[in-house]
């Protein structure tokens, strides 16, 4: 018996932002209503929720059941997935697995996060939990500090100035201008990056993701033709974990991400310049390191090619689309779906292949998925 193929048949999102007048339930209801109104009435077999801070911020456990009730989807089975910042993409791999194994035919994956319910220092207290609490977070160490250490090592090893490493943020803001769902839709200059508030030197405010709420949804199915729009096939998924930064041989390597890319790219001769690529650029230094690990550019050269890149983070990435933690991976996939089918606003590509990458902290738990346009 051959296992089922898995298709991505629809997606929906709200613009990432600060929704003071909407609850997490409101955001989820909005995206699910929009999704179903785009595909007509489809029966789902499973609801998967990606959410990280339900118990930290919302005082809620078993959030998938609460949302199933809210959506009127009972008695459908539901579950919540959490792997830190990569939760959204992990949720999609779990939906993929349910369909691949024949347990489900149609799976609704929803990512949701409310990050603006509390002031930023309170949110930061939760953001530091992505690292080992007993070893790092208790000391008040955060991922931004790790990224800052990496950025200094990178600048030293390859001889870059602080300003040289501003190209990523400038590009992401430029891309986000065309993405109707992006949180930061304005242009910035290298000078603005270099002059923005210091968060953890050399990382400045404009080197990192903004805090925002978000909800997004994708529909996975074993059948490609049950809706009118074009579908994408989820061809392969990969996931890997790695030891914390201080236990790595080379601090500038991303060992889990490397495993993920090797698996996804080994299956066929893919032209990296012809892929629609979304990567986890929570900090601009990580954007550079990911592209180098991907092999799109040799090590130490990423900052110099960013201006000319026209197939990476067309959404604006975490830097400018935003990073509603548990929802982010679902956004990435929802956006690539639109870019390769109906268009994300005016952003549209004819590429046959798409590659989406997500990770938690600095490559602690990394996930990738490879999609192909069905008509290719």
Partner 1 sequence: MRLSIPRFWRKRFDYYSVRISECLDCGRKFYPRRSICPYCRSRNVKVVTSRGVGEVLTYTVSYYRLEGYEEVIPKVIALIKLVEGPVLIGELVDVDISEVREGLKVEAVLRRLKSEDPAGLIYYGIKFRPIVG
Round to whole Å and give the CA distance between 73 and 106: 13
> Burial code of 34-59, b = ≥16 C-beta within 10 A, e = fewer?
ebbebbeeeebbbbbbbbbbbeebbe
Q: Which is nearer to partner 1, 202 or 322 (CB)?
A: 202
Question: Tokens 């609801």, residue?
Answer: 47
Residues 95-154 that bind partner 1 (CB under 8 A): 120-122, 124-125, 128, 132, 134-142, 144-146, 148-149, 152-153
Q: How far is the CB of 256 from partner 1 (least distance, A)?
A: 14
Q: How far is the CB of 131 from partner 1 (least distance, A)?
A: 9
Q: Using alpha carbons, list the distances in angstroms from residue 206 to 25, 131, 162, 171.
A: 30, 23, 12, 12
Residues 53-92 that bind partner 1 (CB under 8 A): none
Q: Which is nearer to partner 1, 1 or 247 (CB)?
A: 247
Q: Which is nearer to partner 1, 137 or 183 (CB)?
A: 137
Decide: is 272 part of the binding site for partner 1 (CB under 8 A).
Answer: no
Query: How is residue 293 written in tokens?
Result: 């690990």
DSSP string, 50-86: E-S-HHHHS--SSHHHHHHHHTT-TTS-EEEE-BTBT
Q: Which is nearer to partner 1, 154 or 337 (CB)?
A: 154
Among 64, 83, 87, 200, binds partner 1 (CB under 8 A): 200
> Burial code of 314-353, b = ≥16 C-beta within 10 A, e = fewer?
bbbbbbbbbbbbbbbbbbbbbbbbbbbbeebeebebebbb
Report the half-sphere exposure of 127 (CA within 13 A, side-chain side): 25
Residues 204-263 that bind partner 1 (CB under 8 A): 243, 245-247, 251
Round to whole Å and give the CA distance between 73 and 364: 34
- Specify the pairing of strand 365-373 against strand 353-360: antiparallel
Question: Tokens 């499973």, residue?
Answer: 46
Round to whole Å and give the CA distance between 274 and 150: 29
Give the closest residue to 141 by CA, choosing from 279, 41, 245, 255.
245
Compute how many residues bind partner 1; rule: CB under 8 A. 36
Decide: is 197 part of the binding site for partner 1 (CB under 8 A).
Answer: yes
Among 9, 28, 57, 203, binds partner 1 (CB under 8 A): 203
Q: Which is nearer to partner 1, 137 or 360 (CB)?
A: 137
Q: Which is nearer to partner 1, 43 or 249 (CB)?
A: 249
Q: How far is the CB of 291 from partner 1 (least distance, A)?
A: 22
Q: How far is the CB of 280 from partner 1 (least distance, A)?
A: 19
Q: Which is nearer to partner 1, 156 or 269 (CB)?
A: 156
Q: How far is the CB of 74 from partner 1 (least distance, A)?
A: 35
Report the 10 Å Cβ neighbour count for 125: 14
Q: How far is the CB of 320 from partner 1 (least distance, A)?
A: 21
Task: Verify cis geometry, omega within 30 degrees of 0, for the bond prior to 202.
Answer: yes
Q: How far is the CB of 84 from partner 1 (least distance, A)?
A: 17
Decide: is 201 part of the binding site for partner 1 (CB under 8 A).
Answer: yes
Q: Which is nearer to partner 1, 205 or 226 (CB)?
A: 205
Q: How far is the CB of 205 from partner 1 (least distance, A)?
A: 10
Q: How far is the CB of 150 from partner 1 (least distance, A)?
A: 9
Among 156, 269, 310, 346, binds partner 1 (CB under 8 A): 156
**CA 343 from chain center: how many Å?**
18
Residues near partner 1 (CB under 8 A) are 120-122, 124-125, 128, 132, 134-142, 144-146, 148-149, 152-153, 156, 197-203, 243, 245-247, 251
């Amino acid at each position: 018996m051959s296992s089922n193929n898995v298709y991505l048949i629809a997606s929906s999102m709200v613009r990432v932002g600060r929704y003071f007048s909407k609850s997490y339930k409101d955001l989820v209801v909005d995206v699910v209503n929009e999704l179903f109104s785009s595909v007509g009435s489809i029966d789902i077999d499973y609801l998967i929720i990606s959410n990280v801070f339900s118990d930290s911020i919302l005082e809620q456990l078993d959030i998938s059941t609460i949302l199933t009730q809210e959506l009127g989807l009972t008695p459908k089975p539901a579950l919540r997935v959490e792997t830190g910042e990569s939760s959204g993409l992990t949720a999609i791999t779990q939906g993929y697995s349910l369909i691949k194994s024949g347990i489900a035919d149609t799976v609704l994956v929803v990512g949701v996060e409310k990050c603006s319910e509390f002031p930023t220092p309170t949110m930061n207290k939760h953001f530091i939990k992505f690292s080992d609490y007993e070893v790092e977070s208790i000391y008040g160490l955060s991922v931004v500090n790790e990224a800052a250490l990496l950025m200094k090592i990178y600048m030293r090893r390859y001889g870059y100035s602080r300003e040289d490493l501003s190209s990523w943020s400038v590009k992401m803001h430029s891309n986000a201008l065309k993405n109707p769902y992006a949180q930061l839709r304005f242009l910035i200059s290298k000078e603005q990056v270099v002059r923005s508030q210091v968060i953890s030197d050399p990382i400045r405010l404009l080197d990192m993701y903004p805090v925002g709420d978000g909800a997004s949804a994708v529909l996975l199915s074993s059948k490609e033709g049950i809706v009118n729009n074009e579908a994408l096939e989820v061809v392969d998924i990969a996931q890997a974990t790695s030891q914390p930064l201080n236990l790595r041989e080379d601090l500038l390597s991303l060992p889990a991400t490397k495993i993920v890319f090797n698996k996804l790219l080994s299956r066929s001769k893919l032209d990296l310049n012809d892929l629609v690529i979304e990567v986890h650029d929570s900090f601009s230094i990580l954007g550079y390191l990911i592209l180098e690990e991907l092999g799109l550019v040799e090590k130490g050269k990423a900052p110099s090619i960013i201006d000319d890149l026209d197939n990476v983070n067309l959404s604006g990435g975490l830097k400018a689309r935003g990073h509603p933690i548990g929802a982010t991976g679902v956004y990435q996939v929802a956006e690539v779906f639109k870019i390769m089918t109906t268009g994300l606003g005016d952003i549209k590509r004819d590429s046959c292949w798409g590659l989406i990458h997500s990770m938690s902290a600095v490559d602690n738990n990394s996930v990738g998925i490879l999609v192909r346009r069905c008509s290719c």
